[in-house]
Amino acid sequence: MSEKQFNGRSAIVTGGTRGIGKAISLELARRGANVAFNYSKSADEAERLKAEIEALGVKAYAAQCDVARTVASAEFVAKVKEEFGGIDYLVNNAGITRDQLILRMKEEDWDAVIDTNLKGAWNFSKAAIRPMMRNENGGSILNISSISGVVGMLGQSNYSASKAGMIGLTKSLAKEIASRKVTVNALALGLIETDMASGMNDEYREKIIAQIPLGRLGSVAEVADIACFMLSPSAAYITGQVIQADGGLAM
């Protein structure tokens, strides 16, 4: 792949300030893309990431935005189009977890996860699709899903449902907009080395790793590389697909 394969292109990464979202944002910037990302709370982290992206010689845009809010999401996308002159790529990465067995799960925990993870992806996709369809070369949407949405996980009825919903959204949108040269795919992740994973106690961590055929957790750098491939012209003939990056855990 060309080091600057995304020169002159513009991308939105939701939930871009930490972990997987941050890694994808930075890798897109390294490859020449202008990058916009939203944040929910940490303005300081957002400013630091914005500075890192700009130091790579591209434009950056950051703003606070609740992806679960339809109007706010549309306004964010419109502002990015104004700042960058267009939108080529969207990575729906924003997500939360509120794990609990269903008999103990509160309604607000179900609603919060579904609204952020699934409705958020719908909100941003709806807003970004029109400018993408006007591009001569179309565009690409990548939904960051999870193997929890493929096989289901104990105590994650809300999270698994939201991630399975993202897979359904991926396939439906892919059929709707393929004729306009816009591809839509999903990346179903396994356990990735993030702040969340680092909070696992050693015993539980070893138990999980023992179930992964490759014998380790994935890295955010690996996820970013896969994401960039899925957005790139090299993947232009791939749409409506769910790529599992899980070390073989859910095969």
Question: From the candidates 39, 89, 159, 204, which is the catalytic residue?
Answer: 159
Q: How many CA atoms lie within 13 A of 55 on its CB side?
A: 8
Enumerate residues 6+ apart whose C-beta is below 8 A from 139: 87, 88, 89, 90, 128, 131, 132, 133, 181, 182, 183
d(CA 222, CA 180): 30
Cβ atoms of 141 and 125 within 8 Å: the answer is yes
Residue 235 tokens, joined: 């993947």
Residue 29 tokens, joined: 């910037």
CA 92 from centroid of its chain's CA atoms: 4
Residue 59 tokens, joined: 């434009």
d(CA 245, CA 68): 26
Residue 17 tokens, joined: 């300030």
Angle among Cα 76, 71, 89 to the nearest 5 degrees reads 40
d(CA 237, CA 220): 25
Active site residue 39: no
Distances (CA, A) of 204 to 151, 153, 194, 201, 210: 20, 15, 15, 6, 10
Enumerate residues 6+ apart whose C-beta is below 8 A from 152: 160, 164
Active site (catalytic) residues: 159
